[in-house]
Amino acid sequence: MKHNSKHFVCLISFLLIFSCSNEEEDTEAPLIQTPQPEAEATAATQYTLAVSAAEGGTISTEGGTYDEGTEVTITASANEGYRFAGWEGYESYETTIIINLDSDFILTPIFAEDTKPPNNFAVDQYWGKIVDFDSEFFFAENISEFNRSGILNSNKIITDYFGNYGPTEWWITSPSTSTDDILKLREKFCQRRLERNENWTNPNANNPNYDACMSHGWFEYPDNYLANGSYVFGYNIIALGQYGDDNSYRNFDFPIQLHEYFHIVQANSILTMPNEGGMWGWDMFSFFKEGSARFYQKYVWRKLSNDVFIDLNPDYNFQDISMREEFRIIMESLKEGCSTFTDYYRIDYSDRNICDPYGLGAWGVAFLMNKKGDGDYDSYWKSFYPVLKVKMITNDNDINLSFSQAMKEFYGLTIEEFNQEFKLFLQLPIEQQLEIIPDI
């Protein structure tokens, strides 16, 4: 009957305004404007929203057909034993999203089985292994939802690349985190250590001390040193204190997040028995340690950016220039200060104001990988570290000896030989030097 009545309405309209078209292009108003019957009043474009249920949770709506521009709120709720892990068909990590119907949407929530990180002291079993549970993130209150989801997104890209080591905790503040909020986060951090029977200052001593933990300046900006990537009671712990208050770019701090995660990759790759290898040290000096972290923070997002959308702040990290151009700038800033050094391996944090081990180390790591000549700029962490780990076992965690032997075996240079060759390299014209940097 509906059809009949619609035709009837249409017929009436035809008689009145000599037109019965639903076509949008029919925009010219008739000369004689006649009030239209109600059934004909809205001819808005309509779109379909289809929300499918998924195993592990529920959705607040299955969608339907809506007028263009309608905003529909959808909430996904994970069942016991599952957690929400994003949307298929929509880029968000929020459980509640508002869809503006400007096209058809097909959405499915993703629920992952909740594989909680182990919650006790004895987690050495995971050391050096890729794990199937997620990192845990602890945010200061002022970190926006946008930035929280951006950090999770960056973490996914980074762990997909290097492998997911765990258990890992991230503690995130920003320069504008208030003193009160820093204290709250610190209390949470130290409470957690206490609950897990973990002693921050000595992982071998099974006597956590809440007051001692609180007396450290954890998360104070900018002095938030947490020895990122160090083994601490079986956990990989990272503090990101410089996370921007910028809410415009999803992966704003991706290079720094990658840099800090790379320290976890290093520690888990090199240290055989973390307690024996030293609580803080996975390498004695910062030239190769920070140099490689710096190299990959510049390399990976450029390498991935054709396939993965990494939304950096364009004013940040030389996004608009090539890796070679950025390394040219780095080299120009180093030339003077570094010229007096002869033992590059031992350039450390304390030399930073004279010769920056991060920048020169990044060049050193590029030099080594280029020396191999296979064009593989991931060899340092992917292939060299496993060789180094074997040496660490053989040499009872003597990092100097192990490093030199592994370098000789894999890249063909002892530390001494590296020092000699790298010194000559540093005297080459910049254009020639730049040839060893990936052309991306």
d(CA 172, CA 188): 12
Vertex 288: Cα angle to 283 and 292 (nearest 5): 115
Least Å distance, CB 263 to Zn ion, is 6
Residues 240/169, Cβ–Cβ less than 8 Å: no
Smallest distance from the beta carbon of 224 to Zn ion, in angstroms?
A: 13
CB of 384: closest distance to Zn ion in angstroms? 18
* φ/ψ of residue 404, rounded to 5: -65, -45
Give min distance, CB of 229 to Zn ion, in A. Answer: 8
Q: For Zn ion, which is the closer residue by CB, 199 or 268?
A: 268
Alpha carbon distance 292, 281 (integer Å): 15
Shortest Cβ distance from residue 341 to Zn ion (Å)?
19
CA–centroid distance for 194 within its chain = 28
DSSP helix/strand/coil, 263: helix
Q: Which is nearer to Zn ion, 200 or 287 (CB)?
A: 287
C-beta of 385: minimal distance to Zn ion in Å?
16
DSSP 215-255: HS-TT-SS-----TT-EETTEEEEEE-------S-TTTTHH
Count, residues near Zn ion per rule CB under 5 A: 2
User: Given the complex with Zn ion, which of 93 and 161 has the nearer CB atom?
Assistant: 161
Cα distances (angstroms) measured from residue 224 to each of 122, 162, 282: 27, 25, 20
8-state DSSP, 116: P
- Between the alpha carbon of residue 53 and those of residues 63, 64, 73, 166, 184, the distances in Å are 11, 14, 15, 30, 38
Task: Tell me whether residue 229 or residue 438 sits nearer to Zn ion (CB atom).
Answer: 229
DSSP assignment of 81-101 equals: TEEEEEEESS----SEEEEE-
Binding mask 32-71 for Zn ion (x = CB under 5 A): ----------------------------------------
Instruction: CB nearer to Zn ion: give 151 or 239.
Output: 239
Helices (H), ranges, 172-322: 179-195, 210-215, 254-270, 274-277, 286-304
Task: Give the nearest distance from C-beta 259 to Zn ion in angstroms.
Answer: 5
Q: Which residue is nearest to Zn ion (CB)?
A: 293
- Minimum CB distance to Zn ion smaller for 192 or for 289: 289
User: Between residue 358 and residue 377, which ones bind Zn ion under the rule CB under 5 A?
Assistant: none
Q: Which is nearer to Zn ion, 134 or 290 (CB)?
A: 290
Cβ proximity to Zn ion, 54 vs 265, nearer residue: 265
User: Looking at beta carbons only, is 290 or 356 nearer to Zn ion?
Assistant: 290
Residues between 148 and 177 with contacts to Zn ion, criterion CB under 5 A:
none
Shortest Å, Cβ 358 to Zn ion = 7
For residue 171, the surrounding DSSP H or E stretch is strand 168-172
Question: What gap in Å lies between CA 8 and CA 23, rounded to an integer?
Answer: 19
β-pair partners for 94: none
To which H or E segment does residue 26 belong? none
Q: CB of 365 within 8 A of CB of 438?
A: no
Nearer to Zn ion, 198 or 290 (CB): 290
By beta-carbon proximity to Zn ion, the closer residue of 135 and 292 is 292
78 with 56: CB under 8 angstroms? yes
User: In angstroms, what is the minimal distance from the CB of 357 to Zn ion?
Assistant: 10
232 forms beta bridges with 235
Residues within window 269-298 making contact with Zn ion, judged by CB under 5 A: 290, 293
The least CB distance from residue 228 to Zn ion, in Å, is: 7
Which one, of 110, 116, 115, 117, lies nearest residue 77 by Cα? 110
Residue ranges binding Zn ion (CB under 5 A)? 290, 293
